[in-house]
Amino acid sequence: MDVSIVVTAFNYARYIDECLDSCLGQKNADLEYEVIVVDDGSTDETSVLLAQRSDTRLRVLRIENSGIELASNLGFAAASGRFIVRVDADDALAPDYLARVSPMLELECGFFYTDYTVIDDNSVTLEEVRLPRFDSAEIMARGDFLATGTLYRADLLHSLGGYATQTRNSGLENYELILKLIDSGVKGTHVAAPLFQYRRHSTNMSASRKASIIDYGRALFERNGWGTFCTNQYHPYKLVLPATVA
């Protein structure tokens, strides 16, 4: 198996079909791939919609609600691909995602990330985001790193045990993983094409959620000796940190 696509879902019945259609509808890909959905205890119609799916490339795992970190790690552990990409259930892959990343998979790097399109609740395009070439200092200053569309070498992901689980729904689980890889000398590669859709909606970052994410980021950087937690123009939520620390 070349690539495992891990979809994490919690009460996203409104978007799950669009997400899975994008994952299972990859065009012109010369890669063997599977799609693993982890339903993190959804209480809406997610499980009903998943039960209606019939595709040999699709596996569905359901657990009691445990948070994004544990749900993702379950999917990572079940994956059989040499590479793993996580896709949030409210996001979607471009039809040529696998075809575009395929020629780059033999490069000596640990992860791949692409440009992306921001969409709203109704899948209307809001903007296209172009990211810079890999620069560890820039990523350390970005303040976040989207999970959807980030393709990892599975052996590296497994060696770290997946996402840190000491804080449930930290909001920075993927960024923390990226920083740990960079800190250990792993390099990434930027794929200069908008190859996934990131959905921006009201539940992405409420005021209380923003405060907890900032607190976690500051503690994370202090704990690992990475300097001061900050953000730059490539932060996915355009988050600007307060000028002073309380």
Q: How far apart are CA 166 and CA 57, in angstroms?
A: 32
Q: Which architecture does CATH list for 3-224?
A: Alpha-Beta Complex (3.90)
Indicate the domain borders of the chain.
Answer: 3-224
Three-state DSSP state, 50? helix
Whole-prediction pTM value? 0.95
For residue 5, give every residue at least 6 positions away whose Cβ sits within 8 Å of its Cβ, in sequence order, or none: 23, 33, 34, 35, 36, 84, 85, 86, 87, 93
- 36-88 pLDDT, tens digit per residue, is 999 999 999 999 999 999 999 999 999 999 999 999 999 999 999 999 999 99
- Let me know: does 1 contact 33? Beta carbons within 8 Å: yes
Band of the pLDDT at 149, cuts 50, 70, 90? very high
- 12-21 pLDDT, tens digit per residue, is 999 999 999 9
Provide the pLDDT for residue 245.
Answer: 46
- Let me know: does 158 contact 181? Beta carbons within 8 Å: no
DSSP state letters, 165-231: -SSTT-S-HHHHHHHHHHHTT--EEEEEEEEEEEE--TTS--HHHHHHHHHHHHHHHHHHT------
Percent of the chain with pLDDT over 70: 96
- 202-239 pLDDT, tens digit per residue, is 665 555 688 899 999 999 999 999 999 999 999 998 89
